[in-house]
Homo-oligomer: A and B are copies of this chain.
Amino acid sequence: MTNIILSKSEENYLKSIYNLSDSGNKIVTTNSISKILNIEPASVTDMIKKLSKKKLIYHEKYKGTKISKNGIIVALQIIRRHRLWEVFLYEKLNFNWDEIHEVAEELEHVSSDQLIDNLDKYLKYPKIDPHGDPIPNKLGEVDFVDKISISDLKIKEKGIVSRIVNEDEGFFNLLNKLKIEIGTEVTILDKIDYDGSLDVLINNKSVIISKEIAENIKITKI
């Protein structure tokens, strides 16, 4: 396992490619990477060539990019670092839910194995980060993740909020307002045909949430 050293940019690209790939299964387009990283497609093409040369991804001109076996391993370590730092910021430094991502985005690039292993131990080997995302272990093993959203539930079905997919500010504010967090119980009261909105019982109160929001909140069915 020759420890490849990547630049901060390379790491950000590889992580994004992994995140867009649905655990390495889907082919990722140049434009999707461009949008997520806010970098022009031409620059993305340059980096794709670079990561291809390092065998972290496969690329066929004009067709798309697939992350390699090795690329997945490397990406999972970056994600591991990111999520462990999120736990640290949230639990030890009392950051809010919506403040941790940005700082973790920087901390994840400090690549010392000793640092991450000791941090992991110090945090008592957490399995999920504050958004409910699973933390890969040292070997890159990741727990199964709920893929059912609130929007997948039928009327009268119940679930426990297990994961928040969307990470932007407005979304977090809404969740705070609705007092939705990991572990909150939700029950579908009604579905509104017109626009797909849902009437949901949260903390004993009926609230209407849009379909889009419901799709971004993953749950465990109960």
Contact = CB atoms under 8 A, between A and B. Distances in A.
Interface stretch (A26-34, A86-94, A159-167): A86-94
A95 B110 contact: no
Contacts of A107: 107, 110
Contacts of A119: 93
A115 interface: yes
B122 A93 contact: yes
Nearest to A106: B110
A138 to B, nearest CB: 16
Contact of A103 (B103, B106, B115): B115
Contacts of A112: 102-103, 106
A115 B103 CA distance: 8
A115 B89 contact: yes
A57 B103 CA distance: 29
A103 B110 CA distance: 8
A204 to B, nearest CB: 34
Contacts of A103: 110, 112, 114-115
A212 interface: no
Interface in A108-145: 110, 112, 114-115, 118-119, 122
